Amino acid sequence: MSSETTTVRQTVSDFLVRVKKGRDDLPDDLALFGDGLALDSLEAAELSVVLEDTYGRDPFSAGGDLPQTVGDVLAFYEAATTP
Amino acid sequence: MTDPTTGRVVIVTGGSRGLGAGIVQSYLDSGDRVATCARSRTDEVARWESEAADRFLFQEVDLADRAACASFVKAVVERWGGVDVLVNNAGVARDGVIALADDDDVDTVVDLNLKGTLQMTKLVVRRMLSGGHGHIVNISSIVGLSGYRGLVVYSATKAALDGMTRALARELGSRGITVNSVAPGYLRTEMSHGLDEDQLDQIVRRTPAGRLGEPADIARVVQFLTAPGQDYLTGQVIVADGGLTA
């Protein structure tokens, strides 16, 4: 696990605490929506802004498929840092 | 002297002249921090930069340019940390019957009045969501409600803004963000220059208030809709036309 992945996971975790959906663990296969974290669309937009502010870009605004799981979010940044 | 670290952060698009300038002046007068953008700089902008340098920000931006819009909003957030109020005022009109309309003119009006406003709103809403509050006012027009011969495209974009107001109010209500339209009647600004004196006289005769509107008339309504604590009036189109369409 890269340090970037750890940092992004912590950013997501901090955001979830702020919107009162904090959890002890955030496994990669945990869904962002529905039965997983149950983010609504505006919360997803807020997470998008938090990630953009922190890392300069975010997977929700990148133009591809929207991330569906925590792992999708992490993979976006892993792909960005992979040489 | 007003403290430059307090006061709401207000974005007014198209604030370099006419109605937009009146709205900018109103927020500066109420002690707020105001950012505005327009396609060109005016003497009014230079005066504000001199007199209220620490509470005023201006960038030359064509709202049809998405990257320029993003750069402008980013500059505002970097300087003042967020956005409390967005007034979507920028607009352009091209008069003439639709049957003879130049295709490029149609694109210009739609790109700026509608697509540019949607883009600016998207960028600012993202900031308001993270802030948990906000006020948005769209400056539409009575011609969006009643129509006007020779202003078909302009009227269409203004009616679209009112639809956007209602949808956005529903979308953002749960986040403490209000969205309303103000539909001015005929004002004594550059936007009424397409009307000749006879047409303006006829409008005045039909207006119960007995005069054309001034930017300050509209700015007062915008201030009311964006007042701190005003969190219940949303999704509405407020007609401010001296009673012309009553």
Contacts of B172 in chain A (CB under 8 A): 42
Q: Are residues B172 and A48, on separate chains, in Cβ contact within 8 Å? A: no
How far off is chain A from B238, nearest CA to CA, in Å?
27
Q: Name every residue whose Cβ is closer than 8 Å to that of residue B33 and which is 6 or more positions away in sequence.
A: B4, B7, B8, B9, B10, B55, B56, B57, B80
Rounded Cα distance, B169 and B181, in Å: 10
Q: Is B38 helix (H, G, I), strand (E, B) or coil?
A: strand
A46 lies in which domain range? Answer: 3-81
Digit-coded pLDDT (tens) for A33-50? 999 999 999 999 999 999
Would you mind telling me the total number of residues written for chain A in this entry? Answer: 83
Contacts of B82 in chain A (CB under 8 A): none
What chain A residue is nearest to B126 in terms of C-alpha separation? Answer: A49
CATH number of domain containing A52: 1.10.1200.10
The tally of domains found in chain A comes to: 1
**What is the set of domains in chain B, with CATH numbers?**
9-239 (3.40.50.720)
Rounded Cα distance, B54 and B44, in Å: 16
Cβ contact B226:B182 at 8 Å: no
| Count of alpha carbons within 13 angstroms of residue A21, beta-carbon side | 18
Cβ contact B217:B82 at 8 Å: no
DSSP B235: S
Q: Which residue has the tokens 């940390």?
A: B81
Digit-coded pLDDT (tens) for B29-40? 999 999 999 999
What chain A residue is nearest to B132 in terms of C-alpha separation? Answer: A46
- pLDDT value at residue B1: 47
Supply angle C-alpha B65, B69, B70, rounded to 5.
120
Digit-coded pLDDT (tens) for B136-178? 999 999 999 999 999 999 999 999 999 999 999 999 999 999 9
pLDDT for A1 beyond 90: no
DSSP string, B144-203: HHH--TT-HHHHHHHHHHHHHHHHHHHHHGGGTEEEEEEEE--BSSGGGTTS-HHHHHHH
User: Does pTM surpass 0.90?
Assistant: yes
pLDDT for B23 beyond 60: yes
- pLDDT value at residue B5: 65
In Å, what is the CA distance from B229 to each residue of B31, B127, B138, B177, B224? 17, 19, 19, 11, 10
Contacts of B129 in chain A (CB under 8 A): 42, 45-46, 49
Helices B66-80 and B117-131, axial angle in degrees (round to 10) = 30
